[in-house]
Structures are given as C-alpha cells and as structure tokens.
Amino acid sequence: MTTLQPRPPYTDAELQKLYPPNLDLQLVQILMRHGERTPVSPRFQNTGLPPFWPYCTSVRQITSTILSPSSSSLTTLQWTRRLETFSRESDSPTLALSSTSHPDNICDMGTLTDLGRQTTSSLGARLRDLYITRLGFLPPAITSPSQIYLRTTPVPRALESLQQTFSTLYPPNTRLPSPETGIFPTPVIITRAHADETLYPNDGNCRRFAALSRAFAQRAADRHNNTPDMEYLNQLIGKWMDGGKVAVDSRPRLSGVMDTINATLAHGPETRLPKEFYDEKARGIIEKIGVEEWFQGYRESEEYRRLGIGGLVGDLVERMVKSVEGRGDGVRFGLLGCHDTTLAGMLASLGAFETERWVPFTSHVAIELFRDNMKGERERGGWFRGLFGKGKEIGRRPAEELGEEEKKKLEGYYVRLRYNDEVVTVPGCRMEGRHLEGDESFCTLAAFKEIVDKFTPKNWKQECRMGRGETVSLPKVPEPAGY
C-alpha cells in the first residue's frame, strides 16, 4: 500500500459509539507517519526511472534565520535550492535535472514531496474536524500552543510533515494574539539528537537492536528466498535486479524494491517503473515478506520490543499517567512526527498489528485516554482533590512496584487505539476486568500500563550496549506481544 485512502468521516451513530457519553476524553496523542516522499536512494535507473524527481516546489522558497552581525538581531534569508550531482560522462559537477530538463523543484533522496505536504495538511484538517468541530475536545481557536505537545524525529520529512499537519489543525486565522503580549507565541517543536532518538527503531545507535534486526532479517531470507513466491517475483522483475535475482537480501534488498514501488505509485507518470513492478500479486508478496522481516521481531521477542520501541511507548504511558496525576502541564493533545517503522513497531509490540500490508504514507495512530466521568464525579471530593502535585511520580515505575493508593489513581481511566481511524484492540486487554464493560477496545489504564511496563527499558543506552560481540539467538519459543 502506498498513498492512504482515508475512510469517510464517522457518522453520528459511529461517533456516539466511539465516544460514549459516560467517558470524557482527557488526552490524545497522535503518532503520524510522514507524507509521500521520494525513494531513500536511487534505484532501477536501468528501467529509465530518473534518479531525481521534480515534485518539490518548496525548494524554490526556503527561508533561513540569519543573525545580523551589526545589531545581533535575527532576520531571515529567502533562497532557492538547486541540487548538484556528477555528469554521466565524468566527475564534473552538473545540476540535477528532471525529465523536463529543469533544475527547479528537484527533490533530494527521501524528501517530502508536494503530494506529501498535501496529504499531511489533509490529516491536520481531519483531526481538526474530529477533535474540534465534532467532539469539542480542543478549542476552535487558541492564544497559546501550550495545550499542544509537538515532537518529531530529526529527519526533515518528519518535521515538515508535522508542520504541515499542525498548520491545518490550527490554521493561521485560529492562532490569535495572546492578551498578555499581543502576539501568538511561537510553537515549540521538540527534537532529539540522533543518538538519543527513540521515536523510531534506532538501529544506528543501538548496537544490540541492530544485531537482533539482522538476525530476524536473515531468518526472513532463509524462509523466503527459495520459495514459489520468490520465483514468481524473479520471473516478473528479476531482469532489472543487480545479479539478475530477487531475494530478501538481494541488491537492492526486497524492502528497497518495495520502497521504490510505493514511492513511484504515489507520484506522476514520469517517475514510473515498468508495469511488472505493479502486479497486484507481486506487491502482496513483497509487502507480506517486508512486514515479516521488519516487524516480526516485535511480535516474538520482548528484548526486540524493549530496544526497538519500548522507550517511545514508555513515554506515551508516562504522559498519560502525568495527565491523570495533574502533572501534565496542561497538555491535552500530542502530535508526533515519525515513520512507518514507528507505527508498525508500536502496534506490533502491543499485539495489534494484524496485517500483512505495509504502513501507507501519512498513516497515523491515535492513542486516546478517557476518564469515566461518573467515577470522576464520585471521587472528586476525596483523594482526587489531594492528588495533584503530591507523591512520587508513577508513570515510569513498573506496576508491581506501585502501592495500593498509587494503583487507585489509575482507576476509572481507559486507553483506546485507532489506526487510520479504525479501532484496534490490544489482546491482553480482552481479559475480564481489564477493559470497559461491553467494549474490549477500551483498555483500563492500569492494564495498558502493565503490558507496556514489560518492555519499557530502564536504561536504554546501557541495554543497547549489552551483548556486544556475542552471537544473537532468537527466542526458541515466541514471547507473545500485547500481554
């Protein structure tokens, strides 16, 4: 799958069922994959596919912040970026051109395209329609972005997608001047250094996870390289591969083939592969194997979950618990710009990624925290009033370490996940007493936290260094996810 086809807006009846009147929405966290992009590296130029694509009009109008040396004040510089490469005949520098032989609008590798900007803007509009217009969860206009938590990976396409989405969640005319300053405060976007990043599976800075990833990739190669499915792919597209053969670990890798197929399908006819690459059966085979290679580790290995995505999911739960405890700084909505491996890795770690299709561009997962408003009214005059700002934080502490009074703080709260506006259920929440009566998709916060605690690292960097130089052995018996 490539470009996401969003489902129609919820009907009034669907909305009533999804957001029952006895539950108040308290916190929403959105993980969003970036929009459509170019391939992360040039492939299949032997088919006539150009290496550089003309779908990035944003490079005509880039604005940078400049420090004035005379006044030490900040100003801006607007400039146009043109991409330089080598000529085919020699190493002489030459401007990268599209098939129309024009140097403007040229995208670099892995760059968010104009279409990606459009689809992420559309996502922001859909989020506004749901959470502002229909549910009234967020105000229609704001004088401060303090209720919104914005976070992204350091990858430019993720940052730009986040910016596009926020710009339609709250368009310029809804960002009003602050009564105190007369201007709208500049939104804060949180990023991390690559070495600290846990908003995607960070195999570049976690050697143990990289070794586990290679082991699961090798197992996928051993399972699929000599199969009728792979032979079918070879008959279709083998002649365009380096060495004339398709395999999980071929050149390019099968996942790289998928990357180029999905990127070309999303864009115009001048950047298309031969029709054999778009055979429906072939695409199904490629995505099925790709999902196994990249995400089966989350389904089978607690260590894989912990090192690959546990830090992020631990952050999500900690933010929910802080909201319950009144330590959340007033944040009601989180928007996190990330990647396909983030979304699928998180869902697979919770036992809730039950598909063989790849994550489409501009996909999102909504993690919603609800409060039972009947219980909230009953408890408001008791311990709840004395809860705020007191006691030891419990968000990152394992459930088994919590005292009875601390556990009571989580009662009456529920967590629900939606993937591309479709509800998904965590298997460990289906058990009696671990979900809202009558709806297994509403997991109690206590049960959800207990599930996540099992693969939340205590010291991610230290665990990433463990087992260095050792042979990696995959679990002999799968360690099921989501329980």
Catalytic (active site) residue 267: no
Number of Cα atoms under 13 Å in the Cβ half of residue 131:
26
Number of Cα atoms under 13 Å in the Cβ half of residue 374:
3
Burial 391-425 (b: 16+ CB within 10 A, else e): eeebbebebeebeeebebbbebbbbbbbbbbebbb
Nearest to 384 by CA among 399, 370, 373, 369: 373
DSSP symbols for 60-109: GSEEEEEE-TTT--EEEEEE----EEE-SSSS-EEE---TT--STT---T
Using CA atoms, how far apart are residues 312 and 337, in angstroms rounded to an integer?
A: 12
- In this structure, the number of other CB atoms found within 10 A of the CB of residue 165 comes to 29
CA dist 361 to 2, 4, 34, 266, Å?
6, 6, 6, 9
Using DSSP, state whether 434 is helix, strand or coil. Answer: coil
Please identify which residue in the block is written with the tokens 């989501």.
482
DSSP symbols for 298-357: HHH-HHHHIIIIIHHHHHHHHHHHHHHHT-STT--EEEEEE-HHHHHHHHHHTT----SS
* For helices 156-169 and 114-128, angle between their N-to-C axes, nearest 10 degrees: 40
- Pick the catalytic residue from 34, 224, 339, 364: 34
- Pick the catalytic residue from 203, 259, 315, 340: 340
Nearest to 423 by CA among 3, 122, 20: 20
Using CA atoms, how far apart are residues 332 and 148, in angstroms rounded to an integer?
A: 6
C-alpha angle with apex 28: 407 to 334, nearest 5 degrees?
Answer: 110
Catalytic (active site) residue 224: no
Please identify which residue in the block is written with the tokens 């459930």.
399
Q: Which residues are catalytic?
A: 34, 340
